[in-house]
């Protein structure tokens, strides 16, 4: 047996009471902005069949090819582990939700469904600042219409989220279009033709990653940040030059819809998103003052995904926001304002601290405390047999507004001392009226 101390698994973290103040604030803001736009919450399982992600995100995506938390199915006794046939902890939620949409029978008639989710995702990556192996995301998915205003509505919800958290109008929406599948097929051909020379022969000026990209996913060549590769991307064919009219018009109308709600989109052809399922609209929400880590939200349209999951062709659009980068950004910006968290902080503190003078008072005090708790008052008492003085110290530290003091004298008279800890005023009251008085004093 090892004597090494137990630790949380790499890339995970414990959310202790104090940490949960912020997390719960993020969750409720998410819930608020989503439901304001009629998105309803859904929760899918934390793990799915591995093939779901392979199919939807694409075998060549980084997420699927090297970042999956997978477990084999049981019962393949003696056989070597076959991870592809097993389960995988969801690395993102869109695939699961599209699956649930189809499985729930919605794809049969493709009605408008607007859903949101908040919950943990898992990716087997090397942890670093703003990146964990288990992290929470807030996201929305809208199925049904292919309308550009729906794209803009989705973006609007994301913007609302950051707005409600205190981000100012420096928030920026960067947009691009991946076109339709036919467009991408043509584009892919054109790109291969354009880059063919660069990858012909033994040696290439491109980075090793790009060599792989050329083989497996040409589009990603355009993503490369290596300077010498960026140079060599100049003059590459533009998707927009081969894009069909419908997709083009969609993109244009998407831009108009964003302007209608007060956002001037920034066209950014480098946004391609790493997952296979995107089509037409792709976007990111940035907050430029954050510098290198300015990307807060990514999303886009996935018109082919539902069909890929076995449903009738049903367009969809959504985004996801990672809590981890959001928390980092908030910290840097000095947000949220203390007032926004006050109610959550208050919830961590008792409102009343009950003090017993002698050992004989404990049961009576415990009974009284329990009564107050049942009435919804946050009430605490000492369980360690501390001296009255020490109990007063605890009461002061606890943040309670009132103290109750019970001694032999009060017990016999069915009374109790009610003390306002801030005003340092106390008076003896009947035990039967203490609840009413506390409700009054606490303004409830």
- Residues at the site binding RNA, with contacts judged by CB under 7 A: 3, 7, 10-11, 62-63, 92, 123, 125-133, 135, 137, 209, 220, 223-226, 273-275, 292-293, 295-298, 320-322, 324-325, 357-358, 384, 386-390, 392-393, 395-397, 399, 403, 405, 407-410, 417, 419, 421-422, 424, 426
State in angstroms the smallest separation of the CB of 8 from RNA: 8
Nearer to RNA, 110 or 316 (CB): 316
> Which of residues 85 and 426 has its CB atom nearest to RNA in the complex?
426
We find the least distance from the C-beta atom of residue 95 to RNA, in angstroms, to be 12
Is residue 115 within 8 A of residue 154, CB to CB? The reply is: no
Name which of 64 and 257 has its Cβ closer to RNA. Answer: 64
Residue 74 vs 225, nearer CB to RNA: 225
Considering the complex, what minimum distance in angstroms separates the CB of residue 81 from RNA?
A: 16
Query: CA 186 to CA 177: how far, in whole Å?
Result: 15
| Residue with Cβ nearer RNA (188 or 248) | 188
Q: Closer CB to RNA, residue 166 or residue 248?
A: 166
Q: HEC string of 172-217?
A: EEEEEECCCHHHHHHHHHHHHHHHHHHHCCCCCCCCHHHHHHHHHC
| Separation CA 437–CA 430 (nearest Å) | 10
Q: How far is the CB of 20 from RNA (least distance, A)?
A: 18
The residues, ordered by sequence, that sit 6+ positions from 357 with a Cβ below 8 Å of its Cβ are 388, 405, 406, 407, 408
Closest distance of CB 198 from RNA, Å = 16
User: Whole-number minimum distance, CB 164 to RNA, in Å?
Assistant: 17
* Shortest Cβ 393–RNA spacing (Å): 5
Closer by beta carbon to RNA, 159 or else 297: 297
């Amino acid at each position: 047996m090892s004597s090494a101390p137990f630790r949380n698994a790499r890339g995970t973290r414990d959310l202790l009471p104090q940490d949960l103040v912020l997390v719960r604030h993020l969750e409720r803001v998410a819930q608020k902005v989503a439901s304001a736009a009629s998105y309803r919450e859904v929760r899918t399982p934390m793990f799915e069949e591995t093939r779901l992600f392979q199919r939807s995100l694409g075998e060549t995506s980084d997420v699927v090819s090297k970042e999956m938390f997978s477990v084999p199915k049981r019962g393949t006794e003696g056989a070597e582990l076959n991870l592809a046939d097993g389960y995988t902890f969801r690395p993102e939620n869109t695939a699961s939700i599209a699956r649930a949409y189809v499985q729930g029978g919605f794809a049969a008639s493709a009605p408008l469904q607007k859903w949101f989710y908040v919950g943990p995702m898992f990716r087997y990556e090397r942890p670093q600042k703003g990146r964990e192996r288990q992290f929470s995301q807030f996201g929305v998915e809208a199925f049904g219409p292919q309308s550009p205003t729906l794209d803009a509505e989705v973006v609007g919800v994301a913007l609302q989220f950051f707005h409600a958290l205190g981000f100012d109008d420096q928030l920026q929406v960067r947009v691009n279009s991946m076109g339709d599948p036919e467009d991408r097929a043509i584009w892919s051909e054109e790109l291969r033709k354009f880059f063919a020379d660069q990858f012909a022969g033994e040696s290439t000026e491109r980075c090793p990653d790009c060599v792989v990209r050329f083989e497996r996913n040409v589009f990603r060549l355009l993503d490369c940040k290596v300077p010498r590769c960026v140079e060599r991307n100049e003059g590459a064919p533009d998707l927009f030059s081969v894009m069909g009219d419908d997709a083009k018009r969609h993109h244009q109308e998407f831009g108009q819809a964003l302007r209608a709600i007060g956002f001037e989109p920034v066209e950014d052809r480098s946004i391609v998103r790493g997952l296979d399922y995107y089509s037409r609209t792709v976007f990111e929400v940035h907050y430029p003052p954050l510098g290198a880590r300015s990307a807060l939200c990514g999303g886009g349209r996935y018109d082919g995904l539902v069909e890929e999951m076995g449903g009738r062709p049903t367009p969809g659009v959504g985004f996801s926001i990672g809590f981890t980068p959001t928390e980092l950004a908030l910290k840097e910006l000095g947000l949220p304002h203390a007032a926004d968290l006050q109610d959550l902080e208050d919830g961590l503190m008792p409102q009343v601290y009950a003090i017993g003078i002698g050992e004989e008072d404990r049961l009576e005090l415990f009974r009284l405390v329990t009564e107050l708790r049942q009435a919804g008052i946050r009430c605490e008492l000492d369980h360690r047999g501390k001296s009255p003085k020490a109990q007063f110290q605890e009461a002061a530290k606890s943040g309670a507004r009132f103290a109750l003091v019970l001694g032999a004298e009060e017990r016999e008279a069915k009374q109790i001392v009610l003390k306002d800890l801030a005003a340092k005023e106390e008076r003896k009251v009947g035990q039967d009226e203490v609840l009413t008085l506390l409700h009054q004093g606490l303004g409830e």
